[in-house]
Structure 1
Amino acid sequence: MPFILSLSGALIASPLAYAACALTKRSGVVDAPDGQRKQQAAPVPRLGGMGIVFAIAIVFALAAVGYEWVPGMAESDWLPGDFDFILVALAIASMLCLIGAWDDVFGMTAKVKLALVGLICIAAPFLGNAVPALDTPFGSISLPVVTLAGSALWLIVFTNAANFMDGSNGLSIGSLGIMFAGLGSAQAVVFAEAFPPGLAVIIAAIAGFLVHNMKGTLYAGDCGAFGLGGLFATLALISGLSVWTVATLALPFLVDVLLTLIMRAKHGDAWFEAHTDHAYQALRKAGWGHWDVAVAWWGLSAACAVGAVIAASGGGALPFAVFWSFAVVLALLWLIVQRQTRDK
């Protein structure tokens, strides 16, 4: 039955997202080239994230009304985590999406945007959106100061990372779709449950958007990057999975963003200024096309997802070991890309 729910939800969400995204192109809200980070040839509509969110919201609303009709189906079966915490996660992700939408439509300085996102991410763990413990090879740490601060830091870093990586068609949103798939697969393996139907809906809605995005005719905008990035980050915290499993899924974003920030700090460059220093941007400057860069990051995301699921199924110290192994490999790849493209 969960498979039928996933399939039927996906079959509704994908065309619905495609149609909703097509409508957002008529909004008049566009991303204009600026000769710096935004190097497209002409203005591109930028509210595609609203189309994704609309499709997800419609299917989730239908599920909320009809789950009682399905034998053995409970509210908590739709998404990973306890139902009350799921509601908090959806509320947090919605607020992050609204911040992004406001910036897309009306504009907002980087510092103000970061401050608002930070406030929400800091408040979220106190509302229940927090990891219960930090597991290490030497035992679990469940001190509230550690779990609350760590959860807030994770939300801030990953949500902003999803936005920072949204600078090449398909890269950020497509990779997020794979991360959602990895999250659901890991939970299904660890807890011997079916793949959560709600995650299948999210992935399908992303697919509907990508049809437009990979043609270069629509961007997700900050509403999409913050909304979907926040949704992954919040659901990951309450999934019950090891923090190392979740972090492994996120590595293709975390490595590029964190190493780029370190490099900019080393060179004395301001973090809040628009730039093209990320590895994916270096590849674009070196002549890689949008499809080339997107497929490369999709491949990295898929590899991390497979590694995370295998490690999660093994349990013990394996998620910890796999995380650091993948982190080292991706960091080396980042260095290679930066060095190979530096003079191009």
Structure 2
Amino acid sequence: MSWLVFPLIITASFMLTWILRRYALSHSLIDLPNARSSHTTPTPRGGGVAIVLSFLTAVLALFHLNLLSSEYLAALLGAGSFVAINGFWDDHRDIPARWRLLGHFLAAFWALYWIGGLAPISIFGLIVDLGIIGYVVAAFFLVWMLNLYNFMDGIDGIAGIEAISVCASVALLHLLEGDSQIEVPLLLGCAVLGFLCWNFPPAKIFMGDVGSGFLGMTFGIFTLQAAWVSSDLFFAWLILLGVFIVDATLTLIRRLLRGEKVYEAHRSHAYQFASRYCERHLPVSLAAGALTMMWLLPVAFLVVDEKLEGIVGLLVAYLPLVLLALKFRAGDVEVR
């Protein structure tokens, strides 16, 4: 595949975002600031459609070039499209939470049917094969990835910077291991980069549920697909996604322990407290990318290079993130 396709995808995503911004403005698809918002300016939403269309067009091209299997294509295209349509509709008019969740699980099981569920995972040389139960575990993982990405898309640029840093890190991992099969994550990173030009602080458009849900589901599929290649690569993906996984999961657990309604909007993630402390979004969004590239990538490399056991690497990578999230009060009660 020609490397010229990558700037082409960036350009396509950039132009599509510009068109979507004009559409959102003309149809009053605006996020208005409220007590639960981290922004203060009314901003158009729904720009994530550009990411979805650019990336799915690119993977279709990969399939026609025989660079992508039909099963992998079906998982990405089917689940991604369903989640994106669900999110697009929710961006236009709110869908009740129970119906959104049902849609999320349907998309998850669709993806799992094509990728074969949860692969057997090697932990200290012991092969853990959950069989049919693995489908249930993997479904909850995909739905949580979808929702946590939505929760973490709360300040300008953070979701895009996280996606690009993870995709770039995975591509670098493959290159360091002498594997040139980096097209799919790089294409996603390029699709996000075109959008990020408009979402970089101060944002001119938000990706909305259509974009954040799509990215969460897609990263979840990437992670589960990697497990079929090797357990080390599976753990590497989990490590690289650590900034979002740790903050969102720790916040959820602490709110659950207090008996709060976790499906209600809030501003108690660590990154939200940090952005209020800094009084700016940019330092926090850049910090998310820096943590991925400068801390999580080296640990992931040690795992993929078999210098570190996967589960040990995961714990080593996550421990400082947990401490950092607690320092910035992840899941604390917000005092107004």
How high is the TM-score relative to the length of structure 1?
0.86
Deviations along 1:239-268, one digit per CA (max 9) or x if unpaired, are 224232221122111111111011112222
Pick from 9, 12, 22 the counterpart of residue 16 of structure 1.
12
Q: 1:57 to 1:126 in 2, by over 3 A?
A: closer
Q: 1:131 to 1:285 in 2, by over 3 A?
A: same
Task: Name the SS for the 1:286 alignment partner.
Answer: helix
1:257-336 matches, within 5 Å, as: 257-302=248-293, 303-314=295-306, 318-336=309-327
Q: Which runs of 5+ in 1 are unaligned?
A: 68-73, 77-81
Task: Name the SS for the 2:328 alignment partner.
Answer: helix
1:1-344 matches, within 5 Å, as: 5=2, 7-27=3-23, 28-65=27-64, 67=65, 74-76=66-68, 82-190=69-177, 192-214=178-200, 215-239=202-226, 240-242=229-231, 243-302=234-293, 303-314=295-306, 318-338=309-329
> How far did 1:105 drift?
1.6
CA contact (8 A) 2:33 2:41 kept: no
Q: 1:209 to 1:75 in 2, by over 3 A?
A: same
> How far did 1:50 drift?
0.6
Task: Name the SS for the 1:203 alignment partner.
Answer: helix
> How far did 1:12 drift?
0.1
Deviations along 1:205-263, one digit per CA (max 9) or x if unpaired, are 21111110013101011110111221121122112242322211221111111110111
- Tell me which amino acid in the other structure corresponds to 2:207: A
CA contact (8 A) 2:38 2:155 kept: no
Two-structure CA RMSD over aligned residues (Å): 2.4
Q: Which moved more, 1:13-22 or 1:90-99?
A: 90-99
> How far did 1:284 drift?
2.0
Task: Name the SS for the 1:140 alignment partner.
Answer: strand
- Percent of aligned pairs sharing the same letter: 21
Of structures 1 and 2, the one scoring higher in RCO (CA 8 A, sep 6+) is 1
- Tell me which amino acid in the other structure corresponds to 2:67: E
CA contact (8 A) 1:245 1:309 kept: yes
Task: Tell me the residue number matched to 1:71.
Answer: none
Counting matched residue pairs gives 326
CA contact (8 A) 2:36 2:265 kept: yes
> How far did 1:310 drift?
2.8
- Tell me which amino acid in the other structure corresponds to 1:18: F
- Tell me which amino acid in the other structure corresponds to 1:22: W
> How far did 1:330 drift?
0.7
- Tell me which amino acid in the other structure corresponds to 2:149: A
> How far did 1:323 drift?
0.5
CA contact (8 A) 1:86 1:235 kept: no
CA contact (8 A) 1:173 1:225 kept: no
Distance in 1 between the 2:169 and 2:185 partners?
A: 10
CA contact (8 A) 2:39 2:155 kept: no
Q: Which runs of 5+ in 2 are unaligned?
A: none
- Tell me which amino acid in the other structure corresponds to 1:46: R
- Tell me which amino acid in the other structure corresponds to 2:275: R
Q: 1:61 to 1:119 in 2, by over 3 A?
A: closer
Distance in 2 between the 1:295 and 1:22 partners?
A: 23
